Amino acid sequence: MKNLVFFLLILSAFQLTAQKNKHFRWNQMLQKFVNENGQVDYSNWLADKDNLDAYIHTLEKLPPLEISSKEAVLAYWINAYNALTVQLILKHYPLKSIKEVNDPWDTEVFEVNEQKYTLGNIEHDILRKLNEPRIHFAINCASASCPKLRNTAFKEKQLEAQLNQVTRDFLLDSTKNKLLPNQLQLSRIFLWFGKDFGSKSERLEFIKTHSGILLDNPKIDYLPYDWSLNK
């Protein structure tokens, strides 16, 4: 009995350590192949594709535990979404846009606990249901108008600060949004996922809070979306 308890304690410690370190490989690749502006060096990453595949395989084997925090779950699925998107681009590279891929968001690309997922499943059925609108500025669709791919991995303990930073960066990027007190030209992300940001007044409060710009009942328009590859 004592041996069994000891084995279970060792197994539990191993699982917790593995959970803690599972995004290390992804962080290294991001540092190597993504610059501060979110531009991705796909041509050189292609030569290191096996490393990316190994990271995704690790994620498939180490999903969040039942005791995992909401932050750990969010970090896991955000990193998974971004890594799977890069993997999808590399599989079809060279190309000029993710839209050249057949059904990029509806193709099964991931399997956890014998359940298969598409990118669409991860975004709509998992991440959006966690009631965290800032995820829209953390996940990347490999396109110029998307929020930039962050060149460090999202992590449980740093997630709150990371989500605040990517949201502020996106809002204040004049290529993605143009914010004036009485006029907003917003990314279509706010149009497509308007429900996640609440009513118009709640959406304006969100933008004001994360951009630091005071708003005076602004007129709202939406900018065209550039689907060209983020390279």
- Provide long-range contacts, Cβ within 8 A and 24+ apart, for 75-80: 75/23, 75/153, 75/154, 75/155, 75/156, 75/159, 77/122, 77/126, 77/127, 78/127, 78/135, 78/138, 78/139, 78/154, 79/23, 79/26, 79/153, 79/154, 80/56, 80/110, 80/122
Q: Is the pLDDT of residue 223 over 50?
A: yes
Map out the domains of the chain as residue ranges.
42-222
The end-to-end CA distance of the chain, in Å, is: 57
* pLDDT per residue as tens digits for the range 13-63: 344 444 557 999 999 999 999 999 999 999 999 999 999 999 999 999 999
Query: Which ranges of the chain does DSSP label H, i.e. alpha helix?
Result: 2-21, 24-33, 42-45, 49-61, 70-92, 119-120, 159-171, 189-192, 200-211
- Stretch 204-229: mean pLDDT: 97
Q: Sorting pLDDT into bands at 50, 70 and 90, what band is 2?
A: low
| pLDDT reported for residue 21 | 79
Q: Sorting pLDDT into bands at 50, 70 and 90, what band is 3?
A: low
Please name the residue that has the structure tokens 């930073």.
165
Three-state SS sequence of 60-114:
HHCCCCCCCCHHHHHHHHHHHHHHHHHHHHHHHCCCCEHHHCCCCCCCEEEEECC
Q: Is the pLDDT of residue 213 over 50?
A: yes
- Stretch 115-131: mean pLDDT: 98
3-state secondary structure of 228: strand
- Stretch 194-214: mean pLDDT: 97
Q: Is the pLDDT of residue 7 over 70?
A: no
Q: What percent of the chain has pLDDT over 70?
A: 91
Q: Is the pLDDT of residue 144 over 70?
A: yes
Q: Which residue has the higher pLDDT, 17 or 123?
A: 123
